[in-house]
Structure 1
Amino acid sequence: MSTSRTELKDLGKFKLIETITENFKLHHPTSIHGIGDDAAVIDTGNFYILVTTNMLVEGVAFDLTYCPLKHVGYKAVVGTMADIIAMNGTLEQITVSIAISNRFTLEAVQELYQGIYRACEHYKVDLVGGDTTSSTSGLILSITAIGKVVKEKLCLRKGAKPYDLVCVTGDLGAAYLGLQILNREKKIFEVDPHMQPKLEPYQHLIERQLKPEARTEIIQLFDQENILPSSMIDISGGLASGLLHINKVSGVGITIYENKLPINQKTYETAEALHLSSTLCALHGGEDYELLFTIPQSELPKIEKHPNIHVIGYVTDVSLGVKLITNSDESIEINAQGW
């Protein structure tokens, strides 16, 4: 008699989450939205509280060979902030929990928290608690973020409608290529410990990987211009993944254009030097922590001159699927890959 087995690698992250949480129901009327969006939504009466958690594991999310602990701390806060921002919210508090092995010194832990402190100071966020325990294998860092949003301004992944414009902030693919450069230099160092890494030409890419920033100014713009995106998500797992999330929960199709993707010149040049496609890096690279959102066409005049907002396509009927129109005018179906 055989026992069936399903390998986690055959499921993928999002299918795993869907499978293990499918039987959980919301019991309290104050729990407005649970698992399935960037953050949970809790009703407090006058506004919604937003809650999300982000976990980073050494050797998976970061490599201390080339990632300073202060950058790990800073990036952990920013990455968690991105989930609150993607709900059109403002982050106010965080809690930090760490599991750490005895190979780390007090000075190392202080460096980690120095990065967390800098992020909190920069974004005016309060560190209000957490937990500390031991680990037998390196560093694990978990951050819970608490924010809020005016009820009428809450943005979810669902809500996109046909003919809406599809927009992204910043530039895409640089964080992924920054990681490729860092891994390349690490391999050279392992062969020759006396080598000096050649990182100066890749400053933009390295910074995008090690020290991303949160798009708080975009949320401020939405408030000033009275813009309410019909759907929004942060790009942490790649543009393609974000598009497919909106496609699934909004029940719409999406068409984007290759020549509209915001790709930095250094990203183009480095991708070519590494024999990679800059378009694929933008679609599937991840860790850009930019915003992907949809807005009605009537809102275009409010955002079209903003240097960090780019219209890359439009929303279609769900029957048309999620498509990329290439520079050679081919229509290609977009699938999530991630890394």
Structure 2
Amino acid sequence: MFENTQKTEIANLGEFGLIDHLTKNIKLNLDTTIKGAGDDAAVLDFKDKKTLISTDLLLENIHFDLAFTPLKHLGYKAIQVNLSDIYAMNGMASHVTVSLGFSSKFPLEAIEELYAGMLLACDKYQIDLIGGDTTSSRQGLVISVTSIGYADESDIVYRNGAQEGDLICVSGDLGGAYVGLQLLEREKQVFLANPKIQPDLEGKDYIIERQLKPEARLDIVDLLKKMEIKPTSMIDISDGLASEVLHITKQSKKGCKLYEEKFPIDPQTVEMARDFGLDPTVCALNGGEDYELLFTIKQADYDRLKHDVDISVIGYITEENAGNYLITRSGNAHELKAQGWNAFKSTES
């Protein structure tokens, strides 16, 4: 479950001792942080900027499986998925708070490993971790992260700004995280059936990393600003492409056409999906956890980004009455349905 073989009971430290232990090595990087962890509240100063805030909750056996998720990777991912929400508003992420709930099965070294991943992500993206909370949990590991950022009011991009004729764009590639999850789940079942069999993950590094160690796309936000392109709407892809497109069209009161042949899907994703008997396009539409940015731009901005290999134009916005459709490679039109992640879907058979 964790790399360090030494085990120190957290009860020996107590809650405040644990917090002091975990936060003692935090370094503050930003002049917007007046006071970080260590008092009743953090103090931030964004001056004339608008403040952006987003919160995510991650639950063991719902959002992650510790059977194949290293704690350091989990900590890194917990921060990344929250930063992604700030970048999806065309803002700059700057601070996070982290709250943890865990049972007595987790020794101090396990929580240190989790925290190390979080601090690694914070350091990479120059984020200040400014506080949080810890508590005991009888339901497994609970992680709650709140991300804070800022933007000029004129730069903020909402989901409801798409206009008829706008081009629909996506960063990176799609479906890899879902296929990586299928691979990890398969190897877990093989191991449970016969612990002597080692996981067969050779040559699958890319899709495994897409699942276990996603990267929030700050680089795309920076790139669009350098190109002087302000998206008309934007969202991050956490629940699958279809679900996110429908969020934009619903809130913008528009329709859309997506073109299957334009979907960016990595060859390793295609190969692995077919090994599982899955359609790679369905994985892209409904898989989720890619944490790429989906955004719309005015047609006049197309020439500025058409040569960027990390941005794909996959369709366009239509009037609301035209509906939301996927145009397949064979030219058939299928109505888009949101079939991705549902946080409240029953797990009962």
Shorter-chain TM range is 0.7 to 0.9
Tell me if structure 2 keeps the 8 A contact 1:46–1:151. no
Q: Structure 2 counterpart of 1:277, which letter?
A: D
The Cα shift of 1:152 comes to 0.7
Unaligned runs of 5+ in 2: 1-45, 342-349
CA distance in 1, matches of 2:270, 2:95: 38
Pairing partner for 2:321 from 319, 322, 325: 319
Query: 1:235, CA displacement in angstroms?
Result: 0.3
What residue identity is the alignment partner of 1:176? Y
Instruction: Report 1:1-339 matches (<5 A).
Output: 46-339=48-341
Aligned-residue offset at 1:45: 7.1
Q: Deviation digits for residues 10-44 of structure 1, max 9, x if unmatched? A: xxxxxxxxxxxxxxxxxxxxxxxxxxxxxxxxxx7
**Structure-1 separation of matches of 2:186 and 2:227:** 44
> What letter matches 2:260 in structure 1?
E
- CA distance in structure 2 between the partners assigned to 1:305 and 1:78 by the alignment: 27
The CA distance in 2 between the partners of 1:45 and 1:238, in whole Å, is 36
1:46 Cα shift? 2.1
Aligned residues: 297
Instruction: Tell me the TM-score normalised to structure 2 length.
Output: 0.84
Query: Counterpart in 2 of 1:27?
Result: none
Q: What SS does structure 2 have at the residue aligned with 1:99?
A: strand
Conserved? CA contact 1:166–1:294, under 8 Å? yes
Q: Secondary structure at the match of 1:94?
A: strand
SS in 1 for 2:203: helix
CA contact (8 A) 1:85 1:219 kept: yes
- Aligned to 2:192, the other structure's residue is in SS state helix
Q: Match for residue 17 of structure 2?
A: none
Structure 1 SS opposite 2:285: helix
Distance 1:102 1:197 in 2: 29
CA shift for structure 1 position 119: 0.1
Runs of 4+ in 1 over 6 A off after TM superposition: none
Any stretches of 5+ residues in structure 1 without a counterpart?
1-43
3-state SS in 1 of match to 2:204:
helix
Superposed displacement of residue 93, structure 1: 0.3
Q: Share of identical aligned residues, percent?
A: 50
- Alpha carbons 1:172, 1:263 under 8 Å: kept: yes
